[in-house]
Structure 1
Amino acid sequence: MTFFFKRTYFFALVFSLSAFFFSCSRLPNVQGKGEALLQGVWNQDSIANSSKLLTYTQHRFKISCDSFYVDLTTFSKVNYYSDSCFNKGVWKEYAKGTYVVKGDTLMLNGTFTKDNYKQKVSGCYRTGRYLTNFKIKSSGANSLVLESLNDQRECALVLKEKITCVPKEL
């Protein structure tokens, strides 16, 4: 009986190790291609009813392959920060990361950065993770309308420059 159990154990071990080694595949060391319709520099030139809002943010996206860079310019009539950071109600924030489109949802996963897109660990405004989701309401050759899933505000973007994805090594 012991021989039977040792033999069964041996085959179970060999099968488990074989399944482990053959089921794993190495990912390529290049970035993904992303979505063709999103490739480019997109500006939010205006915001509806901005004069009536206490706070609003204009977006500028640069999307290349599966990566994004976003410049966020916030205009506020209310001081949320210390006086040295409030900057008379206008300030900029920056973030970069990768994105995924699933169905009609654009999911951005990145970090807040300095204006040179290097990591930001302290200072005025937000630091840490930049996690934002948008519903893609409509898209055309030169226009893209997103709706923030955080606050349901619409973000109407205009294509300023088309970019062709050339995946880079990671």
Structure 2
Amino acid sequence: MRKSHILYLLSFVFILASSCRFNPDMQGPGETALQGEWQQGSVVLQKKLLNYSLYHFKFSCDSFFVSIRSFSKANGGYPDSCVQNGQWSEYAKGVYEQKHDTLRLKGLFSNADLTYKIEGGCFRSGKYEETFKLVKKADSVIQFFPTSSVIPFDARLTKRSSCTPKPL
């Protein structure tokens, strides 16, 4: 009877130990095709829209930085000190994962200098999550279909880079 208890205990410890892993101390390689900077040119019918945003993505290994420049013909409830002539920018950084045609960005809102944005102040702060369906139109053009919007957009590769993993 004691041998069976010891065997169960050792099996449990082995399963527990094999399921635990330390987080990697280096960036992952990310997607080769995404490495670099991508700029959205315009939005379909943007002159007729009340609100729209333009994205600038920077992918480095498995990390991303996004700049979202928003335009509004209506104030939207933000103080005048936040909205400059109906324009403002938001930033986020984090890690991404691509599976098949789906790109998931997970991170936090940040300032333009890559420091994390504290809560309060103008616009969004805290967790940033966005999902896109991607369609490659050419070697340097990808069409993004955001799940948070009904308007797809094209982004052009403006600067190609390769992944050089950095310590975390």
Does residue 1:33 correspond to 2:64, yes or no? no
Q: Which runs of 4+ in 1 moved over 2 A?
A: 18-28, 137-140
Normalized per residue, the structure richer in helix is 1
- Deviation digits for residues 122-160 of structure 1, max 9, x if unmatched? 310111111000000224321111111111211210111
Aligned twin of 1:70? 66
**Could you list the per-position Cα deviations for residues 57-114 of structure 1 after superposition, in whole angstroms to 9, with x for gaps in the alignment?**
0000111100100111101011121222122200011111110011211100011111
Deviations 1:32-77 (Å, cap 9, x if unpaired)? 1111110111111222111000000000011110010011110101
Q: Name the stretch that deviates more: 80-89 or 58-67.
A: 80-89
Looking at structure 2, the residues matched to 96 and 23 of structure 1 have their Cα atoms a distance apart, in angstroms, of 29
Distance 1:118 1:151 in 2: 27
SS of 2:83's equivalent in the other structure is helix
Structure label with greater radius of gyration: 1
1:146 is matched with 144
RMSD: 1.4
Q: Does 1:118 align with 2:140?
A: no
Residues 1:56 and 2:49 are matched in the alignment: no
Q: Which segments of 5 or more consecutive residues in structure 2 lack a partner in the other structure?
A: none
Q: Give the aligned partner of residue 136 of structure 1.
A: 134
Deviation (angstroms), 1:25: 4.0
Give the CA deviation at 1:21: 2.4
Distance 1:83 1:22 in 2: 55
> Normalization by structure 1: what TM-score?
0.92
SS in 2 for 1:17: helix
**Which runs of no fewer than 5 residues in structure 1 stay unpaired?**
none
1:168 is aligned to: 166
Alpha-carbon separation, structure 2, partners of 1:74 and 1:61: 14
Which residue of 1 is the match for residue 5 of structure 2?
A: 9
Query: Equivalents in 1 of 2:108, 2:122: separation in Å?
Result: 15
C-alpha distance in 1, partners of 2:107/2:99? 17
Alignment: residue pair count: 166
C-alpha separation between the residues in 1 aligned to 2:113 and 2:61? 19
2:66 and 2:18 map into 1 onto residues whose CA distance is 40
CA distance in 2, matches of 1:87, 1:49: 22
Q: TM-score, normalised by structure 2?
A: 0.93
SS at match of 1:159: strand
Deviation (angstroms), 1:27: 4.3
